Every structure is written in C-alpha cells, then in structure tokens.
Chain A
Amino acid sequence: MNSKPYLIESLIGLGATMIIAAALGLYMLNEPARITQAQTDVLNLQLDEAMTLYAENCAVCHGLNGEGISSVPALSAPALKTMPFEELQKTIARGRYQTAMPAWSMQDGGALSAYQIDELVLLVQYGDWNKTGDRVINLGLAPLVPFITDPDPALLAEIAKLPDGATLQTAVRIFAGTCVACHGADGVGTSIAPALNDLDTREKLPEDLTRTITYGNTGTLMAGWGNTLQPEEISALVTMIKRWEEIPAGTIPAPNIPIPTTQESIALGSQLFAANCSRCHGPEGQGTPRAPSLNVKSFFVDKSDQTIQQIITNGVPGTAMPTWGDRMSEVQIQAIVGFIRQWEATAPEVATITRGGGGPPWKRNNTNTNTSLFGLLPSTNTTTYTATGQTGIQQALDWRTLVLAGIILTIAFTLISSGFSALKKQKK
C-alpha cells in the first residue's frame, strides 16, 4: 500500500460531510418558510377537493357559484365566512330541520365522510366561488338555472278553444313565468323537481295539489306559493295539472339557455373538435364537400346549444353524421358545443368550403391524446378508451416512439451480435 492510500476517498468523505452539514443548515433556515408554504398547499389541496365535492353534491341546489337557487340560501354570502367552524360543520353533517337541507354525514345516513364535510366547511370559509363555478362547469354538473319562458302564441290560442280555455290560458302563463324553472318545459320535470304532466300527478286529489302549491312541501325544494299567488291562480294551476293531457306539447317551450363554458372546457372542445370533427367539417368548421359548414351565421341563428348538443349526441340519420353519444361523454359533447358556439361572434355570412382536414400527417394538428397505441386494433383483454375514430398507428409512430424503439433495438442488436460473434470465434 502506498503512503497516501486513501487521499481521494478521504476527500470524498470530507466533501460528503460538508454537503450534509451545509444542506441541513440551509434546509433549517428555509424550514419556517417551507412550513408556511406547506400549510397553504394543504389548504389549497383541500379546497380543490372541496370544489369537486361541491360540484357533485351541493351545486344542484346552492347554484353554480354558490349564489343559491330560489329559496335555497346563498353560500357565497360574506356572513357565512365568519360563521363558527362547528356551526357550519354541524349544519352540513346533520342538515337543517324543516328545510331542504338533508344530513350529509355518513353517520346520519348521508354520503360524506367527516373529512369531506370539513373540507366543505373550508370551502365556505376560504373558497373562491368563481373558481368553484368553473369546476362545476368542467365536470358537466352545472345546475339548471331558474328561467322563465314565453308560451307559444299559436298553441296558446288553440288552448282558448278548449272548454274553460281562459282558465287554462291563465295557468299556462303562470306556469311559464314561475313553475317552469324547476318543473321544466311542458312540466316534464328536471333533475331538481318531479314531472307534473304525468298520470300519477293527475290522479292526485285537487285538495292535495292546492295544499302543496300553497304551503310547499317540507324537506324538498318546493316552496309555499300562498303569499305570491292568488287563490284563484292556484286553483287554475290545479285545473291545468288535472287536465294536462289536453295541452299540446310545445306550449311551454324550453328557452335557449347557453351551455356555460370555461377556458378549460373550450380547450377540451377545441382538442376534441380537431380530433373528431375537423376531418369532415374542416379545421375551422368552414365545412368540406363531405359535411356542412358550422362556422357560418345561418347555422348559429338556427340552432340553440341544446339543439347542437342533440345533433352531436344522436347524429343525423341518413347523413354521414354519426352518433357520438356512445363514444363521448356528455361533458365532452358540451365542451365541443361551447367551442363551436364561440365562433358565432366572428362567423361569416357565407361559408367558404375547403377541402380541409387532409394533408400529410405532420401538417395535421393532432392535439388529441386520447388514443391507444394501436387504435386500429382493439385490445383483446380490456376496453380501449378511444374517443376518436382516428388511427392510432399514425400517432404511435411519432419521433419519440422511433427514438425509443431505436435505442432498444440498438442495445439489443449490439448485445446479440457481439455475444454471438465472440462465441462463434471462441468455438474455433
């Protein structure tokens, strides 16, 4: 052994010791700042989860931005932020007697764990309601916005010809101005209120119907209307409910409610449009010989968001437009509708149809990431999650795949050839 056998090793050891000491020292200096930051991060993480919980459980009654719907109170009110933690927690966990607020705690038969309820309390105290609204939209859970509508004039005139037509006309007007918000167009019901034009409702006693309308139904969203409506108006409504089969469909039409959008939903819509729709409708929706233009004034004047959504979901029988409802979720379809709708402001009067969507693969705007490795071939042991009709091979063969395959093949062939030739030589 030479005289300085471990010079290099000793230097490494010294270096490592100094690194450990210095790193620990610097880390400690930064520790208070890190803890503060970590606490903010934890709060943000919990608020983030709370926003999803809100979208899934609360938005339907408390509204998109916590603004409250009809008789349900707003959560965005500043007074709630200063309410004691325990009071908010108890309200969510146990519900509020004689209101529509049910108990949410799992212990009381609800759907939420204690931890989730705590997160919701944090949302009420510290949450950003605009961001919460965006989350609700992105998850496709935007609640029905209260709306009123105008009865169809032609059909309203027809109703006048029915026996006691004037009463029915009055009732239709009241319904269109008040009840339609929750009970839906033509009284077909919505996610928050039952249908009124069905046989079950019709068979109820007039006294029961009158009582429900006048005093409301405790434990549901149905408010008491006795203070707002006159007794004869309520009795007109009861008459209409009992004779609903005589009222033609479409008398109380659904209004044109735009589908709410966010930056994320439009970005998603843009991706999905590029991947699925641009082949036939053109990259800018200008239309091609295969499919009509979407980016044109006349299209937007004609179609409400609901109509476009229905066309995409169900397709157009007898044309090349396929049924997308079984390939895409409602959220995805609504995102596409939102993306198409934002062209309205700049849509030209006359469309210039192009031969769009083609070109060599590298010129195409393939932003879709939702394709399996070989989308052409269905996987044998699982369902593939392809939201597109595009070929996967096209996308699988990008430069990264080629680099990866190249590296693997180079290593493998080097090993094989060197091993093989050396073995052969040795044998001789």
Chain B
Amino acid sequence: MDEQTPKPEPSIFERMRNRLTPDGVPADERGRMRMVMESLVLHIHPAKTDVNSMKWTYTWGLGGLSALLMTILGLTGIILINNYTPAAPQAYLDILEINSNVWFGELIRNLHHWSANLLIVVAVLHLIRVFVTGAYRPPRELNWLIGVVMLLLVVGANFTGYLLPWDQLAYWAITVGTSIISYIPLIGQWLMQLVLGGPEVGANTLLNFYSMHISFIPLAIFGLMSYHFWRVRKDGGLTLPKSSKQLDDPKPERVTTIPHLVNREFIFALGWSAAILLFAMFVPAPLEGIANPALSPNPAKAPWYFMGLQELLLHFHPLIGAIVIPSLAIIAIFTIPFFDLNLKSVGVYFRSQRGRYLTALAIGISLIATPVWVLLDEYVLNWTLWLPTWNTLISNGLIPLAVILLPVIFLDDWIAKKFQADTEERALFNAAFLFTAFIVLTLIGIYFRGPGMSLYLPWNMPVVVH
C-alpha cells in the first residue's frame, strides 16, 4: 500500500533547493569534490593551491584586499547614489542631508570615503609587492599591464569622486588637480576645457565627473578585474615564494582550495571589514563649507595622492614637472616587464640577498637626499634669477632636471662598479631610490607646505583665516 501512495509534491523550498543542487549532496567524497569543482569559487581559484603561495608573508593579501575594498565601494556607492543629486549646489545639501537626516547615512559615506583612500594605498602596495618579487616577468607581463591600468583607473575613480561632495575641499583640490592637464603641450587647454566642461570647475564638471565616477570607471575596473583574476589562473597561479638564499624550487605542497584557501580569504575579508567598519564609525570623512569659486583657500592643495606631483611643480617648469617626469615614470612602469627578464629570481623578495642590501642602501640615501634637495631648491637654488635671459623651460626645467639626474646616474654607476651590480639589481636600486623620493615629496607636500605653498613645520603651520 505504502509504495502505491503517490509521492507528495515537493514544497516550493524543496524545489528551490533542488534547482541549486539537482542531484542532492553526494554521499561519497569524490562526488562532493566534483560538486565543489563546479562551484563559482572554482571559476576563480584552481581546485588545489600550493601551500607556499598562501603564505601571509608573501602576498600580504593585498590583491584580495583591493577586491574587498572594490566590493565595499560598489555597495556603499549604490546607496549613496540614491541620496545624491549631481547638481551644484544641491550636491552639497545632499551630503549634509546624508549626514544629518539619513539612517546610517554618515556611516555609509565614511565607509565609502575611507575605503576609497585605503584602496589607493593598497593598490600601490600590491604593485610594489609584485615588483619586488619579480612577479611581472613572463608569462605575467600582460597581467602587470592590466594591473597598472587598473591602478590608474582607481586613481581616476578617487579623483572624480573627490569633487562630488561639492565642498571647498573638493572644489579647490579638483581645480588644482585639473590645472595640471593644461600644461600638456598644444592640446592642454582644449583638453582641460573638455574635462571640465567649461573654462573652470562648475556645474558641468560635477556632472561630467559624476557620470565618469558611477558608470565608465567602475565598469572598466569591473571588466579588467575579472580579466586580471582569470589571467592569474591562465599564467599558472601566483608566483611561488622562494627563500632568497637558495633559488631552487621549494618542495611543492598542494592542498584543496576549499576549504583551505577559501577559509583564509573569508577570515581575511571579515577581519578587514571589521577594521574598516570600526574606523568609519569613529573617524568622519572630511566635509568643509560649500564650494565657493570666489574664495580660494590658502594653500590650495590637490588630493593627497597628487601632492608628490604638485611638489614637483614647485621645483620644475610645469612641462617638465607635470608632464615629462610623470609620463616617463608611467612609461617605465609599463615597459619594465619587457626589459627585466631574469626568471631565476621570480618569487624572491628583492630578487636576492644583494638586492635587499641594495634596496636598503637606495632607500637610506633617498631619505636624506630628497629633503636636502627640496630645502636647497627652496632656499638656495634659483635658476630663473641666475639665468634671467634664458627660456624658463631651460633655466627652470632642463637645468634642475640635469642637476637631479646627474647624481642619480652617478649613484647607478657607482653601485655597478663598486658592487658589480647587474642590470636587474641596478633597476631595483633605481626604482627604490626614485619611489622613496616620490613618497618623501608626497609627505612634504601634504604635511610641510603651508600658505603660499611655502615650507613650514607641521607644528608651526599658520592657519589663514578668511
């Protein structure tokens, strides 16, 4: 009798569950393994992961943290869009409204603000990690290029987002930041007008930046991010860390991705989410008075990640400081995988024991040389005064450039002769030297420049009251 009773119709929940796992959860391990293989996780990760590539101290989870921050930015961004109007001055009133009239509004804005700033730091650290372990070498050159493009897009996203609160901070940082565009020869003025939608930052700029910030840039980052992940697998997974003393392959030890790698990733994401959440709860995102084109603050500074660039502008002709030097730096970063081909040192931090010492030497010298040069250029060197009849492109551009390039070339030559450094080590030395210089310049720009962009000590910084 029992067998003849028709099977009861499965409930709607059972049917939904059946759609997710049509065959039920298999009883045997092999079957469960298969099920896992077909899951979403394994579209990103391989089924088995090398234990060595999961070491915290090798990747520091920087790529994963960038992805987590992008996710937080996307989610909080969507909520912010719903409470925001990209029109001046309504944009500013909307921010006030978000802070004072929306449940969790301030928290969401803080999360978005701090995640965006943290993302810049983390993305740069990720780039440094890949650089110092030589992880951009073949076959990973393409992924390096995509990563650099994404870094530029992240900076672009941050920069376009900077304007949206439409307060004094936003308005003048964007005014200073976009003025750099106008130094591009021939097309500079035209390009700046195109970006700003007019001769100066205004309602059109806000709309331009908003559209870029919520459509093109996130879409491009999302597309490239997917490709970046896929490329990691296609290129054979992460590079494997090697002890710097012995360059031979470490013994491979592979474990299943689920649960070993996935567990770690979840815990890492949870830990960082908690940290960012707590930070956003206690530290409010800055908001100044409404944008006032008639009242420029003194000093007017670009967003903090452009302060190194703005600092260069104080020392060089704009064409050299704002266009030539940054372009050369970006070209160097783009092309380095095609010059630096020593596959033996892939996965070794700073390439070799010697590489570590050379990097330490480079950072040490740069830490002293950069501030000394800034002080000299600020108070002693004055090429335009000494060579009044020369074109400023030469007297304030090429001559100072030569003055700083000569010691750099001399240092490079010195380590090559004194320590028999090879090409790879010299590239590492110079990169460490120049990058440290850039960080020092950025810090000077942020903390030591006061009214009139003069040098002040942070604790003696005068406040210009309007």
Contact = CB atoms under 8 A, between A and B. Distances in A.
B358 A423 contact: yes
Contacts of A114: 89
Contacts of B464: 385
Interface in A382-428: 382-385, 395-396, 398, 400-401, 408-409, 411-416, 418-420, 422-423, 426-427
B50 interface: no
Contacts of A413: 364
Interface stretch (A35-43, A84-92, A166-174): A35-43
A275 B354 CA distance: 54
A39 B364 contact: no
Q: Is the interface of A mostly helix, strand, loop or mixed?
A: helix
Most buried by A among B266, B290, B381: B290
B274 A418 contact: no
Nearest to A28: B104
B4 interface: no
Given A39-B101, A374-B379, A384-B452, A16 B273 contact: yes
A233 interface: no
Interface in A13-56: 13, 15-17, 19-20, 23-24, 27-28, 31, 34-35, 38-39, 41-42, 45, 49, 52
Tier of interface size on chain B = 35 or more
A6 B189 CA distance: 58
B456 A372 contact: yes
B267 A395 contact: no
Tier of interface size on chain A = 35 or more
A351 B363 CA distance: 60
Q: Is the interface of B mostly helix, strand, loop or mixed?
A: helix
A382 B365 contact: no
Most buried by A among B92, B371, B451: B451
A369 interface: yes
Interface string A189-228: 0000000000000000000000000000000000000000
13 contacts: A12-B267, A17-B274, A19-B274, A27-B104, A34-B106, A38-B101, A41-B100, A42-B96, A370-B462, A381-B378, A383-B454, A385-B464, A416-B364
Closest 10 CB pairs of A and B: A415-B364, A419-B361, A416-B364, A419-B360, A38-B100, A13-B267, A16-B270, A412-B367, A16-B274, A419-B357
Interface of B: 89, 92-93, 96, 99-101, 103-104, 106-107, 255, 260, 263-264, 266-267, 270-271, 273-274, 277-278, 281, 289-290, 314, 353-354, 356-361, 363-365, 367-368, 371, 375, 377-382, 385, 418-420, 448, 450-457, 459-462, 464, 466
Interface of A: 1, 5-6, 9-10, 12-13, 15-17, 19-20, 23-24, 27-28, 31, 34-35, 38-39, 41-42, 45, 49, 52, 113-115, 369-374, 377, 379-385, 395-396, 398, 400-401, 408-409, 411-416, 418-420, 422-423, 426-427
